[in-house]
Amino acid sequence: GDSVTQMEGPVTLSEEAFLTINCTYTATGYPSLFWYVQYPGEGLQLLLKATKADDKGSNKGFEATYRKETTSFHLEKGSVQVSDSAVYFCALNSGGYQKVTFGIGTKLQVIP
Amino acid sequence: DTAVSQTPKYLVTQMGNDKSIKCEQNLGHDTMYWYKQDSKKFLKIMFSYNNKELIINETVPNRFSPKSPDKAHLNLHINSLELGDSAVYFCASSQNPGSSNEKLFFGSGTQLSVL
């Protein structure tokens, strides 16, 4: 079956540091890949997505590239802010009725 | 206007009680979902409804019964609550579930605590 593996947190960074959150996956077919973000007390919201190999999703300074050869979709940001503190979920969907598979979530804490 | 709204935000109750969580979406989507997020933040799908029809039922105990009176609403009723039911429950919706690149829209969650 489909699965998503992402690094366990928490990840603690100083403001303006470089962020990488690793995500690898196993899936049948050619899934779409997503990063969702959950701010404290809120539901998840889509951060970025990529639908085919070598696509790069980007939003709010975050980027992730769909790497089919390494089955990875690592999230990066060049300079994090305190407001980026949240839980980040990597996810995939192989198609069908939106049976999205989520990773365990990585908590990011950015300190001033 | 909140796109996916669920109530209540917090629910504290005793073991053995029956409770309901309500969800409404004003996005015009055909498909709605319930997800459970445990204390370690692991997110797992419970149910999916498309236009009031049950599509996905992921090995959830019979004590959990979703009800969709219309495609804009998907409520979750839980009978005989147990300690292990304590979690955050998220409602979500999507427009085109047959497409793998369609995103989910989530509500803000209901934190259920069973004492």
pLDDT in tens, B45-97: 898 888 888 887 777 899 999 999 998 999 999 999 999 999 999 999 998 76
Do B98 and A97 count as a contact with CB atoms less than 8 A apart? yes
User: Is B3 a residue whose pLDDT tops 70?
Assistant: yes
Give the residue from chain A lying closest to B91, CA to CA.
A43
Given a contact cutoff of 8 angstroms between Cβ atoms, the answer to whether B113 and B14 are in contact is no
User: What confidence score (pLDDT) does residue B52 get?
Assistant: 83
pLDDT in tens, B6-27: 999 999 999 999 999 999 999 9
Distance, first Cα to last Cα, chain B:
34
User: What confidence score (pLDDT) does residue B40 get?
Assistant: 82
Give the residue from chain A lying closest to B90, CA to CA.
A43
Q: Which residues of A touch B102 (CB under 8 A)?
A: 93, 98
pLDDT in tens, A77-108: 999 999 999 999 999 988 766 578 899 999 99
Task: Please tell me the number of Cα atoms within 13 Å of A74 on its side-chain side.
Answer: 10
pLDDT in tens, A26-74: 997 789 999 999 998 888 999 999 999 999 999 999 999 999 999 999 9
User: Is A10 a residue whose pLDDT tops 80?
Assistant: yes
Mean model confidence pLDDT for chain B? 91
**What tokens were used for B78?**
């839980």
Q: Using CB atoms, which residue from B94, B103, B109 is nearest to A49? A: B103
Q: Which residues of B touch A31 (CB under 8 A)?
A: 100
Mean model confidence pLDDT for chain A? 93
Distance from CA of B2 to the nearest CA of A (A): 12
Q: Which residues of B touch A41 (CB under 8 A)?
A: 108-109
Kindly tell me the burial class for residue B14, based on how many C-beta atoms sit within 10 Å of its own C-beta (0-12, 13-18, 19 or more): exposed
What's the Cα-to-Cα distance from A71 to each of A25, A62, A66, B113, rounded to whole Å?
6, 19, 8, 38
Do B98 and A94 count as a contact with CB atoms less than 8 A apart? no
Partners of B77 in beta bridges: B20, B65
Judged by phi (left if over 0) then psi (alpha if -120 to 50, else beta), residue A29 lies in: left
**What tokens were used for A50?**
């990529």
Distance from CA of B60 to the nearest CA of A (A): 15
Name the residue with higher pLDDT: A111 or B56: A111
